[in-house]
Amino acid sequence: MISKSRWKLLAMLALVLVVMVWYSISREDRYMELFYFPIPEKREPCLQGEAERKASKLFGLIPFSSPPYQPIFLQLKDYFWVKTPSAYELPYGTKGSEDVLLRVLAITSHSVPESIQSLKCRRCVVVGNGHRLRNSSLGDAINKYDVVIRLNNAPVAGYEGDVGSKTTMRLFYPESANFDPKVENDPDTLLVLVAFKAMDFHWIETILSDKKRVRKGFWKQPPLIWEVNPKQIRILNPFFMEIAADKLLSLPMQQPRKIKQKPTTGLLAITLALHLCDLVHIAGFGYPDAHNKKQTIHYYEHITLKSMAGSGHNVSQEALAIRRMLEIGAIKNLTCF
Ligand SMILES: *[C@@H]1O[C@H](CO)[C@@H](O)[C@H](O)[C@H]1NC(C)=O
Ligand SMILES: *[C@@H]1O[C@H](CO)[C@@H](O)[C@H](O)[C@H]1NC(C)=O
Ligand SMILES: *[C@@H]1O[C@H](CO)[C@@H](O)[C@H](O)[C@H]1NC(C)=O
């Protein structure tokens, strides 16, 4: 028979144990390891160069990373020491814009941040501006990627729960620039200029060098005062626009002035991600059906498909290209496409 005092001792021990367990769970620190075995977060395997390999096969591309090596961002030495001739004018090349580009490259930067370069496998998400992000609660999932690429003036402030808050890179052109870039970006966000025309280089030059602003030559008034650190500015290599147009959309490189079709910033961002990243996920891509005339197309503003008319973007053709990439698994989608 166990004596009463033994029972008491056992009860005391049990109590101490319960308190210890409770303590270790309630405080996520040094006692944690004693009792808690974390289940490793289920992450998709990330194979180096996988996204690019698949996309290259699909579109008959030469992998971007094989020679002749194409830098992601334009760099001064390619225009200063060795004059690399470009076959096309903007937006597919830099032919004829070399002088202004030289001045812009002298005051901006071209490096890919060490924090991205050093990653063994780069997991990226391209956040489109589509209305499907509304009420998606994808914010936390988006923030977990190594690289978050955003487009144009898509806001973050006030939409964090659905679109996240981290912005590694933002692709934009003067007419689509956030008027207050500090509010919608992180201090270290790379602001990646996508130049469609020579005026776009002039715009960034007048802003950064505080020269007399030019107001003509834009289809919408871009910011005249734009507070950014020039070291955060990058100029996207027009090569990506060429690939997106030529390989993904089969657009003719030389088009009559009146037609001028071009890829959207979204498709361009996917093209860039296929090159920069090993795993490419997309969210907020896709437009409403053509008959759905009242549906807004963006998560943050009330404009409909009608506003796309005359933009030079063929939305249905882009959807086709993205579908094909999804089908072969070169990219994956987080929202219904
Ligand atoms: C999002 O959720 C809010 C509140 O539940 C609702 O009022 C709104 O209609 C939803 N918006 C969309 C686009 O589903
Ligand atoms: C857009 O692309 C679709 C599908 O490729 C094609 O049928 C249509 O003619 C294109 N529209 C224009 C305006 O070029
Ligand atoms: C995209 O993702 C959603 C949700 O995960 C899924 O339901 C849908 O089938 C996917 N669409 C495509 C085209 O893969």
Query: What confidence tens digit (pLDDT) does each residue in 194-223 have?
Result: 999 999 999 999 999 999 999 999 999 999
Atom of ligand 3 nearest to the CA of 332: 14
Nearest ligand atom owner, CA of 290: 2
At residue 31 the predicted structure's pLDDT band, cuts being 50, 70 and 90, is very low
Q: What is the pLDDT of residue 175?
A: 96
**59 — phi, psi (to 5°)?**
-100, 10
Is the N-terminal amide bond of 91 cis, ω within 30° of 0? yes
Query: Residue of the nearest CA to atom 12 in ligand 2?
Result: 314
* Residues flanking ligand 3, CB < 6 Å: 326, 333, 336-337
Distance (Å, whole) CA 110 – CA 232: 9
Range list of β-strands (E), 26-115: none
Ligand 1 mean position, distance from CA 135 (Å):
6
Q: What is the pLDDT of residues 293-324, one digit of tens each?
A: 888 999 999 999 888 888 889 999 999 999 99
Distance (Å, whole) CA 56 – CA 247: 10
pTM: 0.85
Write down the mean pLDDT value for the chain.
Answer: 89
Element (H, E) at 141: helix 139-143
Q: What is the pLDDT of residues 117-176, one digit of tens each?
A: 999 999 999 999 999 999 999 999 999 999 999 999 999 999 999 999 999 999 999 999
For the chain, what's the residue count? 337
The class (CATH top level) of 36-69+121-200+240-333 is alpha beta
Tokens of 130: 């589509």
Element (H, E) at 124: strand 123-127
Of 250, 305, 308, 314, the one to substitute when testing ligand 2's pocket (max ligand atoms within 8 A of C-beta) is: 314
Residue 267 has pLDDT above 90, yes or no: yes
Residue 28 has pLDDT above 80, yes or no: no
Query: Residue of the nearest CA to atom 2 in ligand 2?
Result: 317
Q: What is the pLDDT of residue 1?
A: 59
Ligand 3 mean position, distance from CA 333 (Å):
6
Q: What is the pLDDT of residues 66-105, one digit of tens each?
A: 667 789 999 999 888 766 788 899 999 999 999 999 999 9
Residues linked to residue 333 through DSSP beta bridges, in sequence order: 282
Is the N-terminal amide bond of 113 cis, ω within 30° of 0? no
328: number of Cβ within 10 Å: 11
SS3 233: strand
Q: What is the pLDDT of residue 19?
A: 86
Domain ranges for the chain: 36-69+121-200+240-333
Share of the chain above pLDDT 70, in %: 90
Distance (Å, whole) CA 127 – CA 270: 10
Atom of ligand 2 nearest to the CA of 314: 1
For residue 123, count CB atoms less than 10 angstroms from its CB and return exposed for 0-12, middle for 13-18, buried for 19 or more: middle
- Identify residue 173 by its one-letter amino acid code: Y
